[in-house]
Amino acid sequence: MENANDAYSREYTETQVLSCLLQGPYCPRSLSSAPIQPLVQLDFTNGSLVNSGPVVFNFSSQEWAPNLTTGKDGDANGGLNFDTNNRYYSSAAGQDASLPLGSSPRTLCAWIKPSQLPANNSHQLVFRYGNTTTANASVLALSTSSGNKVSFLGFGYDALADYTIPLNTWSHICSSYSGGNTVSIYVNGNFIASPAFAGSGPLNTTSGAFVIGTWTGSGGLAYYWWGDSDDMRVYDIALNSVQIAQIYRLGAAF
């Protein structure tokens, strides 16, 4: 507050509070232009699948729905649990069309609590969106290839950063892409690396579906997630290190 009389008469949203933090020691009286509203923010509070961002998803599963479990904030039924190879959620086709496509900037973040890591030369997908028929998707994942990785997959055009996520512990991971041939990877608010993409590019995400916990859903290449997940986000900008650190700190404060 700029002076003793600056008491606000309404509750701020998380985005507005974060905007204050990013603007320095003083919070402006008008926060109508908060710069980092996510397009996707799935918190799963009380088992809800409603996105608090502006994109509408209708989730279902052709196999088994994930279990509800304690979320990263300690809230009952506030997170998703995946304990077999058949649990996932998928939106209806085309509902990801408002998310960043082509090679436009984006940031993907989630809180994860894996119960196991991928086998060598494999992946476990936290979430993804895009078209998997033509492999034009954007994927937040863990991978194992000559060591454990946190990864942003374009599938066939992938960026993998060396890092071993601990098992059975909540960790916050983000991948920030501003264009070009690298992605910046963050774990628990800390910058890890900016690995270059390897494979056949460039990145060209096309609309498909928003999917939690698997690559394809029923049938085909699966790469199922094992463990818990919470607070999944997609931004249409490449967040910087300060912004990602603040998102992590706000989440960890719970």
Residues 131-187 pLDDT 10s: 987 778 999 999 999 999 999 999 889 999 999 999 999 999 999 999 999 999 999
**DSSP code at position 46:** G
Please tell me the predicted confidence (pLDDT) of residue 200: 86
Instruction: Compute the Cα dihedral for 74, 45, 248, 217 and give only its sign.
Output: positive
In this structure, the number of other CB atoms found within 10 A of the CB of residue 15 comes to 16
Q: Is the peptide bond prior to 202 cis by the omega test (within 30 degrees of 0)?
A: yes
Phi-psi domain of 217 (left: phi exceeds 0; alpha: psi -120 through 50; beta: other): left
Topology of the domain comprising 40-252: Jelly Rolls (2.60.120)
Please tell me the predicted confidence (pLDDT) of residue 216: 73
Tracing tokens 């609309």 back to the chain, one arrives at 207
Q: Where are the domains of the chain?
A: 1-35, 40-252
pLDDT tens, position by position, 213-252: 998 754 456 899 999 999 999 999 999 999 999 999 999 8
What number is the average pLDDT over the span 18-30? Answer: 49
Say whether 102 sits in a helix, a strand or coil.
strand
- Note the pTM of the prediction, 2 decimals: 0.86
Q: How far is C-alpha 88 from the chain's CA centre?
A: 15
Asked if 218 and 63 touch (Cβ cutoff 8 Å), the reply is: yes
For residue 78, pLDDT over 90 is answered with: yes
Please tell me the predicted confidence (pLDDT) of residue 135: 74
Q: At what angle do helices 14-22 and 241-252 cross, to 10 degrees?
A: 130
Q: How far is C-alpha 118 from the chain's CA centre?
A: 18
**Nearest 5°: phi and psi at 252?**
-70, -25
pLDDT tens, position by position, 98-136: 999 999 999 999 999 999 999 999 999 999 999 987 778
